[in-house]
């Protein structure tokens, strides 16, 4: 996964999704560039070819003409063996 990859963000089951650009993905959260502001605590689903995550928005800030949206992960699913290694200990 590249930080410049695109993903789909949904705010409800019926939402067709909005394209977002990835900033960061860690065991605790995800950060994306989004064309719209999202309220705090909004539950979102972000899907990409290598992951499918559910998160709760913890921060949203304007950055020029876009917004940086940060969400803490509720669930994370990696549908393929992508070689991603995740450790919660240092």
Dump pLDDT digits (tens) for 54-74.
999 999 999 999 999 999 999
Q: Which residues pair with 3 in a beta bridge?
A: none
Predicted structure pTM score = 0.84
Reply yes or no on whether the pLDDT at 32 is more than 50: yes
Is the domain 6-77 a CATH 2.40.10.220 member?
yes
| Token duo for residue 58 | 């913890």
Q: Distance between CA atoms of 71 and 23, rounded to whole angstroms?
A: 12
| 20-44 burial: b if 16+ Cβ within 10 Å, else e | bebeebeeebbbbbbeeebeeebeb
Query: Domain limits of the chain?
Result: 6-77
* 4-22 pLDDT per residue, tens: 799 999 999 898 899 999 9
Among all chains, which residue has been given the structure tokens 């950055």? 63
């Amino acid at each position: 996964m590249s930080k410049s990859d695109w993903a789909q963000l949904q705010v409800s089951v019926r939402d067709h999704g909005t394209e977002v650009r990835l900033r960061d993905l860690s065991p605790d959260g995800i950060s994306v560039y989004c064309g719209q502001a999202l309220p705090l605590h909004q539950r979102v689903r972000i899907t990409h070819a290598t992951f499918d995550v559910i998160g709760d928005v913890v921060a949203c800030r304007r950055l020029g003409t876009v917004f940086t949206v940060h969400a803490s992960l509720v669930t994370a699913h990696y549908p393929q063996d992508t070689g991603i290694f995740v450790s919660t200990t240092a």
